[in-house]
Each structure stands twice: as structure tokens, then as C-alpha cells.
Structure 1
């Protein structure tokens, strides 16, 4: 198949053009035309329109190289960015986004029913992004598993991190939060960080906690159904705290309340975080997306909270 999702094509026998939004088989593709209607057509009956529109439709676009200044070396920041297509609403594009100061040698392979396919391999410079995959968001349940591998390289005097090897099966909860502006791409979308340490459970400490005498065990208090994380609700001296101190207090309060909800087998809990600059909401959603006891999460009762609260459904 010479075409891929997101290519802009023109019909040979008709005055129609649009974007490839489905690969049906080796001979057939689906093309979404101007009125958002998808037309099945033989691949031989369309032709690729070169040099059309946004860079993402011409090549696997990589932003210009950015020089890293001394003293500004950044070692963390490898992401999968999921961005809706600006022209074909049915499509989203996946990018590997490099916010680090390292040059990355990256590879993306898909796995579906024990069948593997290499989708992308290449070098991603610091502060650039490369498109690695395209798909319909409405077909999320049909998406394959994504296997990302990353090697780091730099000519500067910096320790090189261990290679990344991340397996990601996207679920609906990964896209439950509101879209935000993606760095480098400057488009609305979702961001999933690949180079965060996995949540590790110390088996020995866990075992010790089960065998502690009853008087040593701490009673976990059941949290309220709607837990308010506004700093003035948590600390009386909040006017004397720095922004980072406030954030730490709010995140710790969130973790304790979430643990309490899990211990007391609450089916759900709502966290009121406000809108503000969105940093606290983003941090909470990042923690929730990796928590093994969280089934899903979503914006809670917009008519009451707007976008200032998140409802968490527990397993």
C-alpha cells in the first residue's frame, strides 16, 4: 500500500479530493472529502497531491534543530503526543516529541494479535517532534499496542540515560482530560510522557505492613465524596507558602484522599482542583493515568464545577 493515513489525494475520474482516513485492504482505501463523508475507493483510482497544506501531510515532519545553550541541559521530556488532524477531523496523528537536550534514536513498532510492524525509525533532534503513526480516534478499541524504543546521544559532557523501552496500549481514560497546547507542535492535543519512572512497589515493605501489630497500624480516614484541593482549604498559612510548596501539599492531600477512597472501597471520588493555570489538574491526571486501582477519570459535573473538578472511578 503506497498511501498512509493522513495523505492528501485527488480522485482520477472525479473532481474530488480529500484525506486518506482508512486503509481497508491492499487495494482499497477510505477517503474523507470536504463534507466529512468517507468514500471507499480503489487506491489505483486516486493520486497523491505533493506539497499540499500542512507539513504533516507531506512528510514525517520534524521541527528545526534548536541549539542547546551551556547550563540549560534538559535530561527528561520524551513524550507521545496525540494531535487531531487540522483538516480531517476523524484522524489523529501520533508524534514522538523530544523536549530533552539529547539527540534521540527512536523506533516505534506496533503489535496486534502477535503480529508486529515497524512504523518508524529515525533520529529526533532536541526540541523537535516526528510523526510516527496515524489512526482514527473513534477506532481506539482497535488500536494496536505501541512499542517505543529510544537511545540517547549527546556530544556534551552529560551522563547518558539507560535506553527507553516502553509498551503502551492506549485506553479511553488517556484521552479523558481536556486537550491542551502541545509544546513544539503548537497544536491542541494530549501528551503522554514515556521517560517517567514506573511506579514500583516494595514487596518487603508491603509484607511488613501486613504483619505490624494492630497498635502500629495507622487508621486510614474515609475522605469526603467531593474532596476540595484548594490550598486555602488545606492550610491556614497558605499566604506564606511558595508555589512549589503549595503544589506539594495539594498533591500529597490528593494521594492520601485517593488511598482512603481505595481502602474504604468507595466506587468513586471527585477532586476539586479549580481551573487556574492547569498545572495541578495536569499533575493529578498524570498520577491517575498510571494508578493500578483507577478505572477511569473525567471532568466532573461541568454545570457545577466547569472544568475545575475531576471525577475518579475506582476498580
Structure 2
């Protein structure tokens, strides 16, 4: 298949053009035009529109592999990310970019694993402080996306010891893309950011040794939470009229974490947080925190007939 998701094409037999938003099989693709309707068409019945450049016609500087020396005090050793952003023209398509904020040159590969069928999607060099598009997919097909296998080697012409190679397997879930978008470094566009080189947990051996000799503390009893937790400040504090916005947010988040931890301890199947609609600040922060919690299977807007858009239901593992 010579076409990729996000390619801009024109129909051979009709006065129509649009973006490739689905690869159906080796012969068929889906093309979405200005009316947002996707039309199945034979790949042989469309052609590239010459002169169109994806991502606004920007040329990616990551093809330049000449490494510019960095001062030792400025040499950045960490900062390898996957940035996922929607296509500028076809919002149903997302593009994966490997973002290198380090001072190392990266030799990176991406392989997909779909039910034990492996396919090399990308292999190349990524210069320091640059990004490279490595994969594209239909966001609506997230549930059937393959497993992603990332392998990254670090290299520098300077006298710097490289980190250990990265080998990471990731199966993305809906909750990974339910959090608020943020500005993606080097790309200057909004999207979702996943860090690949998470810093290692450093264990202080002396403190660990000392903890063995500490006197036992009284066992903490965690009360079982109710299934619906109301986070409206008037339900939590009587003096809420005297609190500023940051104090209110901190109180609500503390109550949220306490209830969520209790639900996990008591192995509840789910719990609902009532946060109200408002300007969405509390809702967005809850979703951001839930998206990072490994004990959360997924979350969604709760029963709309009862809560409108003012509550989130959390399904626990």
C-alpha cells in the first residue's frame, strides 16, 4: 500500500479530494473530504495532490544527523517521549512522533505486534533536540491498535557515557487519551505526551535498613467509601466562603485521593465522583490523575440522566 494515513489525495474520475483516514486493505482506502464523510475507494482510483505538505509544509530537521557539540554543563541526558497529535486537516487521524529532547543522537525503531504478527513501522536516526513522525492511526480504532514495541539506542561523539538502551512495549488504552492535551515539546502543537525514559526509582539503602528497626506503628484502618463521592466544596467544608480557589481545589483533590485509595483498598469494582460541570477545571484535573493511576482500568462520564456532565465513573482493576 503506497498511501499512508493523512496523505492528501484527489479522485481520478471525480472532482473530489480529501485525506486518507483509513487503510481498509491492500486495495481499498477510506478518504474523508470537507463534508467529514469517509468514502471507501480503490487506491488505484486516487492520486497524490502534488504540492501539499503534511504538518503545514514544515520540513523536519531530524533528518540532519550532524551532531552539534554541547557544553558539558548543558548536555541533557534525559527526555525521550512519544507525542501523539491529531492531523491538522483530518481530526480522525493521529500521528505518533518520537521526540528527542536529549543531547544524544538516537537510533530508534518501532515495531507493531498485532496478534503475533510483527511489522517494522519505523527505523532511523533522530538528531538531538528534534522529533520524527513514526506512525499514524485512526483514533476511533484505538481498541484494536497493535502493541507498540519501541527500541532506542543513545549515541554521542562527545565523551559522555550513554544510558542503557530502551526497550519498551506499550498497549495503549482509551484512558491514555482521555486526559487534557498539552503542548508537545519541539512540535508546538497540542497532543498527548508519553515518556519513554522514566527516571529509575533510587532506593536509599541506609533508610531502608533503618526502617527495619523502627518500632511498629498502629495499624491504620481505612474506612470503606460510599459508591458516590460528592466533591462540591459546600459538602466538604462549612467555611468554604472564606477559601480562595486554590485552597478549594486542594481540599477537593485531597478528598478525591482519600476516597479513591479507600476504594482500591476495599477492592470496589467502581466509584463515582461528583465534581459538577462548571468550567471543567476540577474534572480535567481528576481525569489527569486517573490517567496516571495503574489501579484504574478506565473512567467515563457517569450516568448523564442523573448527573449531566458533572460526574465521572471510575472502573477499578
TM range (shorter): 0.7 to 0.9
Distance 1:48 1:151 in 2: 35
- Residue 217 of structure 1 and its aligned partner are, at CA, apart by 3.6
- Higher-Rg structure is 2
Q: 1:52 to 1:195 in 2, by over 3 A?
A: same
Q: 1:106 to 1:301 in 2, by over 3 A?
A: farther
Q: Does the Cα contact within 8 Å between 2:229 and 2:259 map onto a contact in 1?
A: no
User: Given the alignment of the two structures, is residue 148 of structure 1 paired with residue 150 of structure 2, yes or no?
Assistant: yes
Distance 1:227 1:76 in 2: 40
Distance 1:116 1:56 in 2: 32
- Residue 166 of structure 1 and its aligned partner are, at CA, apart by 0.9
- Gaps (5+ residues) in structure 2? 203-215, 237-249
**Equivalent residue, structure 1, for 2:23:** 23
Q: 1:227 to 1:102 in 2, by over 3 A?
A: farther
**Equivalent residue, structure 2, for 1:241:** none
SS of the aligned residue for 1:195 comes to coil
RMSD across aligned positions (CA): 4.2
- Residue 296 of structure 1 and its aligned partner are, at CA, apart by 1.6
SS of the aligned residue for 1:116 comes to strand
Q: Does the Cα contact within 8 Å between 2:105 and 2:126 map onto a contact in 1?
A: yes
Distance 2:313 2:220 in 1: 27
- Residue 92 of structure 1 and its aligned partner are, at CA, apart by 0.9
**Equivalent residue, structure 2, for 1:268:** 271
Distance 2:71 2:289 in 1: 32
Q: Does the Cα contact within 8 Å between 1:60 and 1:132 map onto a contact in 2?
A: no
- Residue 226 of structure 1 and its aligned partner are, at CA, apart by 4.5
**Equivalent residue, structure 1, for 2:100:** 98
**Equivalent residue, structure 2, for 1:179:** 181
Q: Does the Cα contact within 8 Å between 1:129 and 1:184 map onto a contact in 2?
A: yes
Q: Does the Cα contact within 8 Å between 2:21 and 2:30 map onto a contact in 1?
A: yes
Q: 1:76 to 1:113 in 2, by over 3 A?
A: same
Distance 2:181 2:119 in 1: 29
Distance 2:36 2:272 in 1: 39
Q: Given the alignment, which residue of 73, 81, 84 partners 2:83?
A: 81
- Gaps (5+ residues) in structure 1? 201-213, 234-246
Q: 1:61 to 1:253 in 2, by over 3 A?
A: farther
- Residue 165 of structure 1 and its aligned partner are, at CA, apart by 0.8
Distance 1:114 1:195 in 2: 26
User: Given the alignment of the two structures, is residue 165 of structure 1 paired with residue 170 of structure 2, yes or no?
Assistant: no
**Equivalent residue, structure 2, for 1:34:** 34
Equivalenced residue count is 283
**Equivalent residue, structure 2, for 1:123:** 125
- Residue 216 of structure 1 and its aligned partner are, at CA, apart by 5.5
Residues 1-315 of structure 1: matches in 2 within 5 Å?
Answer: 1-55=1-55, 62=62, 68-196=70-198, 217-222=219-224, 226=229, 258-266=260-268, 267-268=270-271, 270=273, 275=281, 284-285=289-290, 287-288=292-293, 291=294, 293-297=295-299, 312-315=314-317
Distance 1:256 1:172 in 2: 25
TM-score (norm 2): 0.72
Q: 1:129 to 1:252 in 2, by over 3 A?
A: farther
Q: Does the Cα contact within 8 Å between 1:128 and 1:184 map onto a contact in 2?
A: yes
- Residue 174 of structure 1 and its aligned partner are, at CA, apart by 0.7
Distance 2:301 2:128 in 1: 34
Distance 1:157 1:299 in 2: 52
- Residue 116 of structure 1 and its aligned partner are, at CA, apart by 0.6
